[in-house]
Amino acid sequence: MQAAIRISIQKMRRNFGGPFGAVVVRKGKIVGRGWNQVTSTNDPTAHAEICAIRDACRRLRTFQLGDCELYTSCEPCPMCLSAIYWARLQRVCYGNTRKDAARIGFDDDFIYREVAAPIRRRKIPMKQLLRKEALTAFEEWQTKMDKIRY
């Protein structure tokens, strides 16, 4: 946890992005590091947790981190929480809460509410198009013999 906090402070001071840091740990060793790089890379998905997961996966040459833990300086936002589940991390430890983050201008509460809202009631309009054509890829995936499951 200390490494995640240290990264959050160092990288924030160097203007890489917001005050967030994260590390992925496997068997007591840091295998991935990340910090918020949203403003320095113009990438809204470059949150500390996402960057740490990407770094760990690249280093370990895998897309699953089931034997790893994530230490992050702040409770993960909805996007990062989803990535944590997709990466199959076994545990998450965090420092600041999402309420602490909201107090300094990083308020993700509206996203939590949007995810829970029915599609027709979300702020960003969503419309289904060409479902029949889109199903072609899913049907092919179902019978694909050399697919890599995840």
Burial class for 5, CB neighbours closer than 10 Å (0-12, 13-18, 19+): buried
* Backbone φ, ψ for residue 108 (5° rounding): -100, 10
Select which of 49, 114, 133, 139 is catalytic.
49
| 3-class SS of residue 24 | strand
Whole-angstrom Cα distance, residue 66 to residue 59? 15
CA–CA dist 21, 73 (Å, integer): 5
Q: For this structure, is 139 an active site residue?
A: no
* 123 Cβ contact list (under 8 Å, min separation 6): 110, 114
Q: Which residues are catalytically annotated?
A: 49
